Structure 1
Amino acid sequence: MGKKMTIKTFAIEYDSINSKNIFTNGDTINGRIIVEVSKETKIQALIFIAKGEANVCWSEDSEQYNQGFRSSEKYYEVTHHILREARQDGTEIIGKGRHVFPFSYTIPDRKIPSTFKSSIGKIVHKLKAELKQSIKLTKKAKTHFKFVSAADMDTPGLMDPQYGCKDKSVRVFGSGNVSFDVHTKRMGYTQGEGIQVIAGISNRSSRSVKPKFTLYEERSFFAQGQRRVHTNEILKDKLEPIKSSDKKTVTKVITIPRDLPPSILNCSIIKLEYRLKVYLNIKCASDPEIKLPIVVLPALEAPSHKQPPPSAGFGFEPFGNPNPAPLGMTPPLQVAPRPVDPPPPYGACAAPAMNPSVNQYGQYENKF
């Protein structure tokens, strides 16, 4: 039989802030680090870390070589010692049982990119706890939180009207030409908002043309001077055909899905952009098209409750007991209120019940 583990539970968790559990610039995250030990235990340090960063990684194969591309960017990293060294030997003692160390962290109120995840790039925001014991390895726990950057109303051209025009000659199985122009009121729209598209179409050809609309995303990744682009269609729509020798002005409202991630324009190695493509479908001919940029702005939800001000043991003043126990004595237990509405796992919409003994992925993480 192996020796019974001294540390039975080591976890970090945080409280929900609203029904979607989405944080934004300047929000405060209240949570706790949980340490449960089977006997009186010496602790060298208990550390809280908050971190926001982006990483990109992909490889390209060719007949001559296999080349990898990597890049990273850090937005903030805050480290704070919760248990400070109180003894001459550089350790602290905690008693047998379950100990709860509350924390309160305020997200920087500056331009920081939103949470994002794909196969070759991601932007993550996470909270981490490290428990260091003399001689022994450091024990780690972490959890991610979903961050959505507040709308940047200083984006150039955000509220400007968008316009495009195109001419097309029809020569295969037909004759004549087609011309059309497209207008939208502005470039920026919030999640769930409708984009009113006005298209003026002049069909001076011998064929009918069908107006079609596609909203798609363009994901760009940058590393070592290279760019990799992925596109994906979000939605499609169409209108009735415009007959030969007919001229019409048509209007179509394209509604942005409420759950569509907001544009990411403030990260130098990952960009999430949207385009509205309007084109005329002509049989047996290439389709003339116009692409207009669309910036999707977040429709952020206000906190569901007023966040309590930091009290003793909260914030980035000294954590834990401000008056350490005498040498060899166990410091008093600190208890933080349990979260009323546990946060969901990273990237999920619904939250399972939180198990304080593990992180939100159901397991301990051994590396950051």
Structure 2
Amino acid sequence: MLFEQLKKFRIVLESSEDGTPPVFSSGDVLSGRVLLELSRTSRVTSLKLHAVGYAKVHWTESRSAGSSSAYTQNYSDEVDFLNHRETLLQAEDNNEPKVLQAGRHEFPFSFQLPEDTLVTSFEGKHGSIRYAVKVKLHRPWCTVKKIKQEFTVIEPIDINTPALLAPQAGAKEKMARLLYRNIGQVSLTAKIDRKGYTPGEMIPIFAEFYNSTYRSVVPKAFITQTQTFIARGTMKQKKSVVATLNGDTIGAKKRDTWHGRAIKIPPVGPSILQCRIIRVEYNLRVCVHVPGTSKLSLELPLVIGTIPLHPFGSRTSSVSSQYSVNLEWLRMAIPEQPEPPPDYSAIVSDEEAEQHMTPPQAEEDITGVLERPYFAYVQEFRYRPPPVYSEVDPNPQGSAIRRRCMTC
């Protein structure tokens, strides 16, 4: 029997020089070998390789059709990114199987990944983006033996582009109400120096708060992640708070200003913006909580990239600090968090949720912890040397689908 003859059968992908798992992007050459070790002479019909990459989403929703009946609606979709086949070993022209002697056999393979069509690997609650190399071993009168080796794809996002280096700013105000009467107005303005950041960086927030009510208010900031899954013209969302920043209490008729108060980006996956059925987006949300009434909230979009800021791309932080935080991201260090991020619903009032939410509703995350994708092993950071002294800035400054839910 084949399973008695087959001692070893596995796929080995070429790893980086330091032995870390290989990571690829569009246009890269994927190389490896299939290892086959036999305990005795065997006849093999074929050895075939199939490389696949796809995004897939699926969820179900239960709906009531009356007082005593209900039905379940399924939503699913799939998009293919990679479909490569090749034969590593084939029978003779007369269909006579190949005879392999006992011992170890290696079958190398190498092929180029598609240009500009891949999407970053991802694992979420209602969908995933996965890549794998599959191999099938065919032998006369025996069951086909199958093996699979998954691999990671990271599509680079360079934050050194005009769109991602542009400052983001906004202002909002709201009349606070308590027991159906106005108690004064609360206003906020906020600005960040750019839209694009990489994990491990600090985001300096410049904000001004004015509390004209007779009650104290509390400003806060959150980094939120929104996973959007799309199928059959309908979307499902999962929102999580991944980082928090608490401000000081602002007394009645008082102002407060944040002069670059910083919030740290934890080791999260990069933004996914180019996939038709799965999107991963980030926002910086600055809120003012007024006891007894709904929150005032301002949302600034973020893009989490993979290629860090060039030394002269911004004057918000030194080159050496960027270098160190990028290494921390590669090591997948756990960010310093004295307590876990709050439930997303903690920064969303019931009133605002009912006003802005459109079915199917965005799903709340009760843990604040993301389903982490295969991400963040970008090799280009690892061997980047520190900048020479002349490269350091001598004068750094101080620190048509349904409408997406935009609830606070």
Report the TM-score, using the length of structure 1 for normalisation.
0.76
Please state whether the residue corresponding to 1:171 is helix, strand or coil: strand
Range moving further from structure 2, 211-220 or 201-210: 201-210
In the alignment, which residue of structure 1 is the partner of 2:242? 234
Are the aligned partners of 2:14 and 2:22 in contact in 1 as well (CA < 8 Å)?
no
Choose from 100, 106, 110 the match for 1:104.
110
Change over 3 Å in CA distance of 1:118–1:155 after alignment to 2: farther
Are the aligned partners of 1:195 and 1:255 in contact in 2 as well (CA < 8 Å)?
yes
Q: Distance in 2 between matches of 1:206 and 1:31?
A: 69
Are the aligned partners of 2:2 and 2:142 in contact in 1 as well (CA < 8 Å)?
no
Please state whether the residue corresponding to 1:205 is helix, strand or coil: coil
Are the aligned partners of 2:283 and 2:300 in contact in 1 as well (CA < 8 Å)?
yes
Root-mean-square deviation (CA, aligned residues, Å) is 2.7
In the alignment, which residue of structure 2 is the partner of 1:129? 135
1:302-341 counterparts in 2 under 5 A?
Answer: none
Are the aligned partners of 1:279 and 1:287 in contact in 2 as well (CA < 8 Å)?
yes
Q: Distance in 1 between matches of 2:195 and 2:170?
A: 13
Amino acid across the alignment from 1:241: T
Higher relative contact order (CA 8 A, sep 6+): 1
Verify: 1:30 aligned to 2:31, yes or no. Answer: yes
Please state whether the residue corresponding to 2:212 is helix, strand or coil: strand
1:27-176 counterparts in 2 under 5 A?
Answer: 27-63=28-64, 64-151=70-157, 157-172=163-178, 175-176=183-184
In the alignment, which residue of structure 2 is the partner of 1:180? 188
Amino acid across the alignment from 1:209: V
Change over 3 Å in CA distance of 1:111–1:192 after alignment to 2: farther
Change over 3 Å in CA distance of 1:44–1:3 after alignment to 2: closer
Verify: 1:196 aligned to 2:197, yes or no. Answer: no
In the alignment, which residue of structure 2 is the partner of 1:317? none
Q: Could you list the per-position Cα deviations for residues 153-197 of structure 1 after superposition, in whole angstroms to 9, with x for gaps in the alignment?
A: 698942222122111112317722111111112211112122121
Please state whether the residue corresponding to 1:158 is helix, strand or coil: helix
Q: Distance in 2 between matches of 1:45 and 1:11?
A: 15
In the alignment, which residue of structure 2 is the partner of 1:207? 215
In the alignment, which residue of structure 2 is the partner of 1:268? 276
Are the aligned partners of 1:111 and 1:149 in contact in 2 as well (CA < 8 Å)?
no
Are the aligned partners of 2:44 and 2:140 in contact in 1 as well (CA < 8 Å)?
yes
Q: Could you list the per-position Cα deviations for residues 239-297 of structure 1 after superposition, in whole angstroms to 9, with x for gaps in the alignment?
A: 1122222233313211111x211111111111111111100111111110011111100
In the alignment, which residue of structure 2 is the partner of 1:284? 292
Q: Distance in 1 between matches of 2:291 and 2:19?
A: 48
Amino acid across the alignment from 2:9: F
Change over 3 Å in CA distance of 1:348–1:179 after alignment to 2: closer
Q: Distance in 2 between matches of 1:189 and 1:35?
A: 45
Amino acid across the alignment from 1:29: L
Amino acid across the alignment from 1:59: T
Range moving further from structure 2, 113-122 or 239-248: 239-248
Q: Distance in 1 between matches of 2:156 and 2:46?
A: 35
Q: Distance in 2 between matches of 1:19 and 1:179?
A: 53
Please state whether the residue corresponding to 1:119 is helix, strand or coil: coil
Are the aligned partners of 2:306 and 2:376 in contact in 1 as well (CA < 8 Å)?
no
Identify the structure with the greater helix proportion: 2
Ranges in structure 1 where 5+ consecutive residues have no aligned partner? 303-345, 351-368
Please state whether the residue corresponding to 1:268 is helix, strand or coil: coil
Are the aligned partners of 1:24 and 1:150 in contact in 2 as well (CA < 8 Å)?
no
Amino acid across the alignment from 1:119: K
Change over 3 Å in CA distance of 1:4–1:228 after alignment to 2: closer
In the alignment, which residue of structure 2 is the partner of 1:9? 8
Quote how far apart the aligned CAs of 1:87 are: 4.3
Report the TM-score, using the length of structure 2 for normalisation.
0.69
Choose from 248, 260, 266 the match for 2:256.
248
Q: Distance in 2 between matches of 1:126 and 1:214?
A: 35
Change over 3 Å in CA distance of 1:3–1:112 after alignment to 2: closer
Q: Distance in 2 between matches of 1:166 and 1:230?
A: 26
Aligned length: 305
Verify: 1:293 aligned to 2:298, yes or no. Answer: no
Q: Could you list the per-position Cα deviations for residues 13-63 of structure 1 after superposition, in whole angstroms to 9, with x for gaps in the alignment?
A: 223225653513244333221112232222111112222111111111123
Quote how far apart the aligned CAs of 1:130 are: 1.3
Please state whether the residue corresponding to 2:235 is helix, strand or coil: strand
Q: Distance in 2 between matches of 1:348 and 1:147?
A: 8
Please state whether the residue corresponding to 1:266 is helix, strand or coil: coil
Amino acid across the alignment from 2:302: I
Q: Distance in 2 between matches of 1:157 and 1:287?
A: 30
Please state whether the residue corresponding to 1:262 is helix, strand or coil: coil
In the alignment, which residue of structure 2 is the partner of 1:354? none
Are the aligned partners of 1:11 and 1:35 in contact in 2 as well (CA < 8 Å)?
yes
Amino acid across the alignment from 1:269: I
Range moving further from structure 2, 187-196 or 18-27: 18-27
Q: Distance in 2 between matches of 1:142 and 1:68?
A: 28
